[in-house]
Amino acid sequence: MKDMISDIKSKKPLVHHITNYVTVNDCANVTLAIGGAPVMADAIEEVEDMVGIASALVINIGTLNSVKVKSMIMAGQKANELGIPVIFDPVGCGATVYRREVARLLMGKIHMTVIRGNLSEIMALAEENIHMKGVDAGSENISQVNDLLKNYAKQWKTILAVTGAIDKITDGQRLTEIENGCKEMGTVTGTGCMCTSLVGTFVAAASQDAYDATVEAIMTMGIAGEISWKQNGNKGLGHFHMGIIDEIGKMNINTLKEWGRIHEI
């Protein structure tokens, strides 16, 4: 395991977010906590300039509108042109026809370096007729899910990071499972978006090693959640929520090695 957190803190990479207004503050704070520099700019007039000085672009479709979609396309295509990694979070992708169409539009126009979502969201990207009722709806009881995810990663030429009770990361060849995190992370809003921002920050500092960067980012989020729940769970969800950010700020390679539960498939 590489000490990517030290690299982030020394490089302080700028991570450009076009994200949703529900969790934007949390996304900025976790980026800062791990050592990056967040910018949340979605105006059409400046997204190309902004992404041009960034080390990664995070696109999150949690709160969509037609103008923001245009900004996402412009920023994503500029990032592709400049060789800047793009991290995509297809929040609630299968919830509505519009959301699914936008996700597929973005996939068609932008090459995504990493796609981070839950299993329902990833399946909605891949299947024509899947439907879901909410962001965290669906079941992981899908036959041969590992083979499916590998195939999707190959098809989309991307790294898939599928978070859930057991996180799965694959580039179509390798597949890594992480068993960190706790179910209580689903009781506060924004943990998925925060995780995507961490992926963006890790990849920004190690774009030539995006797979391992994604793995360490997912581990960081899960371990921070575990530690925060252990220390703050009896104090209430507000303390738990803020504790996640605190633990991300304190995270280091030794904590990853001590707490990490990771294996290759």
Write out pLDDT tens, residues 14-60: 999 999 999 999 999 999 999 999 999 999 999 999 999 999 999 99
pLDDT, residue 136, reads 45
User: Where in the chain does DSSP place strands (E)?
Assistant: 14-18, 37-40, 56-60, 86-89, 114-117, 159-162, 167-170, 175-178, 262-264
CB 60 within 8 A of CB 91: yes
Mean pLDDT of 81-110: 96
Other beta carbons less than 10 A from residue 95's beta carbon = 18
Domain that holds residue 151: 4-264
Mean pLDDT over each residue of the chain, to the nearest integer: 93
- Assign 94 a pLDDT band (cuts: 50, 70, 90): confident
| 38 beta partners | 15
More confident residue, 54 or 94: 54
Q: What is the CATH number of the domain that holds 65?
A: 3.40.1190.20
Q: What are phi and psi of 86, to 5 degrees?
A: -120, 130
Tell me which DSSP letter residue 35 carries.
Answer: T
The encoded tokens of residue 1 equal 């395991």
Other beta carbons less than 10 A from residue 223's beta carbon = 22
Radius of gyration in angstroms for the set of CA atoms belonging to the chain, rounded to a whole number? 17
CB 204 within 8 A of CB 217: no
Angle between helix 210-232 and helix 237-250 axes, rounded to 10 deg: 140
> CA distances (Å), 95 to each of 3, 121, 203, 243, in order?
38, 9, 28, 30
Angle between helix 210-232 and helix 4-11 axes, rounded to 10 deg: 100
Going edge to edge, which strands form the sheet with 37-40? 37-40, 14-18, 56-60, 86-89, 114-117, 159-162, 167-170, 175-178, 262-264
pTM above threshold 0.85: yes
* pLDDT tens readout for residues 176-214: 999 999 999 999 999 999 999 999 999 999 989 999 999
Place of tokens 């797979």: 211
The encoded tokens of residue 249 equal 């700020």
Report the distance separating Cα 213 and Cα 208, nearest Å: 9
pLDDT, residue 265, reads 85
Q: Could you give the number of structural domains in the chain?
A: 1
